[in-house]
Amino acid sequence: MTKHTPRPWWIDDNGFIVSGSGDTYLTIADPHASNDIDPCEIEANARLMVASPDMLEKLKHCHAMMQASGMERDLKLSIGKLLHQIGGRQ
């Protein structure tokens, strides 16, 4: 599975989700691409997308801690399944 664009991600002044550094920036997503979505939902989706790389890192960390601590197998499998579904398993 393809890896995601490296962070940091942020919402620019035009509402696009971007990533980059220095003079080089990449538009990752245009949350305004559909006119059928409520503006509040667009904003919420954009915030969620921007937070997703950090959430993925935290999820990986939690998964590793659960594996190391011997927590219940079902819980570890659930986190592992989530990581696999979002392409974060390495």
pLDDT digits over 15-59, tens only?
888 888 778 888 888 877 777 878 888 788 888 888 888 888 888
* Mean pLDDT confidence for 52-78: 78
Give strand pairing partners of 26. Answer: 19
Give strand pairing partners of 21. Answer: 24
Q: Determine the angle formed by the axes of helices 73-85 and 39-69, rounding to 10 degrees.
A: 140
Spatial CA neighbour of 10 closest among 32, 87, 25: 25
Report pLDDT for 45. 81
pTM, two decimal places: 0.61
Report pLDDT for 2. 61
Q: How is the chain split into domains, by residue range?
A: 9-85
Report pLDDT for 72. 63
> Can you list the alpha helix ranges (DSSP code H) found in 10-72?
39-69
Structure tokens at 41: 């939902």
Q: What percent of the chain has pLDDT over 90?
A: 0
Helix (H/G/I), strand (E/B), else coil: 41? helix
Report pLDDT for 63. 79
Sign of CA dihedral 57, 60, 65, 71: positive
